[in-house]
Amino acid sequence: MTGLGIYIHIPFCASKCAYCSFYSRCAGKAEHNEYTRALIKHISEAQMKPSDYVVDSIYFGGGTPTVIGERNLIKILNTVYKSFKINPDCEITCEANPNSVTLPMLKKMRRAGFNRISFGMQSKYLAELRNLGRTHTFEDVAAAVEAAKKAKFSNISLDLMYGLPSQSVSDFLDSLDAAIELSPTHISCYGLKIEAGTPLAEHPETLHLPSDDEQADMYLAAVTRLSEEGYKQYEISNFARDGLISRHNMKYWTLEDYWGFGPSAHSLVGKKRFSYIPDTSRYIAALSQGDEIIEKIETINTSERCGEYVMLSLRTTEGIRADVLEKKYLTHFDKIEEVLLRYYKTGHATFDGQSWSLTPEGFLISNHIIGEALDALEESEHLVRPRNGYVRKDV
Ligand code: SF4
């Protein structure tokens, strides 16, 4: 039986943040309800032999899922329960803005089966939050975490951002300490990216962004501080206590199957990758008329999968393994190892006797290293059959 992740996309937010390029927009209750009906139709009509897969992760993301209200969220979750075989210890996450939840709402969600909640905190400072167009305060975050604990959510994640306009390293560490103080089980730290088409991209010269060196200092200080507090890094931007890594995220990074529902949602099931119409109104109309909702579908061949393995495994602290590349993808590891050996000598990569991974300093330049690894993959020879044991070079 294969594990399957389900992703539910809720493309609505209460307001639009100044840095956000995700597919989401503001809408009223009528559209929330109409969307919920369409999504339920989509999920309940989804074709998959129940004996093939067991769902071990359900993730409501967006957007801000909680803006559609707990009644709609619970209806959607119940539809997933009815349509798929669910593992009893399935991780069921909902993303939420701190000012979009109440204790009664969280209690109802918990009773319905949600067992993990992820709040976008971003910063403890009001000025930084307002620069980002966030409508909540740090007090809202503290109240939301307390309410989630009271509602018996024992797995709580907080998102933080660094590299914000006018932010100093100590400002960021203050926010990180404030997040740690709330004792979540999981923390994500993302660097702010100024995306084209967002309000922040209109006058970037006025933003007073920290320099690249300052941003690197923030990241490295966060890795150290989080490690001291028992948060183990498992991916470039993600840290968890007590092994409570996000199953949903890990499925994506380890090329496991996941099925996304909703406009613009992507899926990887078996050898097929597909996505749905990236427009909420068209998605709703197509579902009500019984029209095609798939925007794009492709079959992933082994060599593409191999490229994805190289690219995604190097984002994680589990890293890349020669035996996986050779046995599963029938590709020589030697050329990639040459790249990693070079970065080993400069302190950007490490080897634990089985797998190669990047160090925190390596994660800072991961795009560059992964690019080189992919170039090396292009030059790598293919094997006719797996080699009997891989002999690594000395490190
Ligand atoms: S709440 Fe999240 S998805 Fe919504 S606008 Fe802000 S960053 Fe984007």
Q: Is residue 159 part of a domain?
A: yes
Tell whether 159 and 57 lie within a shared domain. Answer: yes
Tell whether 163 and 67 lie within a shared domain. Answer: yes
Domain-ending residue, one of 210, 231, 252: 252
Q: Is residue 390 part of a domain?
A: no
Tell whether 12 and 137 lie within a shared domain. Answer: yes
CB 178 within 8 A of CB 138: yes
pLDDT score of 384? 62
Closest ligand 1 atom to 13 CA: 4
Tell whether 60 and 203 lie within a shared domain. Answer: yes
Tell whether 173 and 318 lie within a shared domain. Answer: no
pLDDT top residue among 283 and 395: 283
pLDDT score of 380? 86
Tell whether 37 and 182 lie within a shared domain. Answer: yes
Q: How far is the CA of 217 from the centre of ligand 1 (A)?
A: 26
Pocket of ligand 1 (CB under 6 A): 13, 16-17, 20, 22, 24, 62-64, 97, 120
CA distance 18 to 52: 43
Please say if the pLDDT value at position 48 is more than 90: no
Q: Is residue 188 part of a domain?
A: yes
C-alpha pair distances (Å), 164 with each of 18, 177, 239, 320: 12, 17, 20, 32
> With the CA atoms of 237, 243, 244 and 249 taken in that order, what torsion angle do they form, in degrees rounded to the nearest 10?
50
CB 255 within 8 A of CB 268: yes
Please say if the pLDDT value at position 202 is more than 60: yes
Tell whether 242 and 307 lie within a shared domain. Answer: no
Q: Is residue 129 part of a domain?
A: yes
Q: Is residue 274 part of a domain?
A: no
Tell whether 34 and 134 lie within a shared domain. Answer: yes
Tell whether 34 and 163 lie within a shared domain. Answer: yes
Q: How far is the CA of 120 from the centre of ligand 1 (A)?
A: 9
Query: Of 10, 13, 161, 198, which is best to mutate to test ligand 1, by the most ligand atoms within 8 angstroms of its C-beta?
Result: 13
Residue with the smallest CA separation from ligand 1 atom 3 is 63
Q: Is residue 273 part of a domain?
A: no
Supply the CATH number for residue 216's domain.
3.20.20.70
pLDDT score of 172? 98
Q: What's the domain count of the chain?
A: 2
CA distance 312 to 300: 15
Residue carrying structure tokens 């000025």:
127
Tell whether 40 and 189 lie within a shared domain. Answer: yes
Q: Is residue 385 part of a domain?
A: no
Over residues 104-154, the pLDDT tens digits come to 999 999 999 999 999 999 999 999 999 999 999 999 999 999 999 999 999
CA distance 212 to 200: 18
Closest ligand 1 atom to 16 CA: 5
Tell whether 178 and 248 lie within a shared domain. Answer: yes
Tell whether 95 and 158 lie within a shared domain. Answer: yes
Q: 344: helix, coil or strand? A: helix
Q: What is the CA radius of gyration of the chain?
A: 22
pLDDT score of 386? 59
Supply the CATH number for residue 362's domain.
1.10.10.920
Model pTM? 0.94
Over residues 228-251, the pLDDT tens digits come to 999 999 999 999 999 999 999 999
Q: What is the mean pLDDT of residues 219-229?
A: 98
Over residues 101-110, the pLDDT tens digits come to 999 999 999 9
Q: Is residue 393 part of a domain?
A: no
Q: Which domain holds residue 176?
A: 2-252
Task: Retrieve residue 220's tokens.
Answer: 């490295």
pLDDT score of 393? 55
CA distance 251 to 313: 11
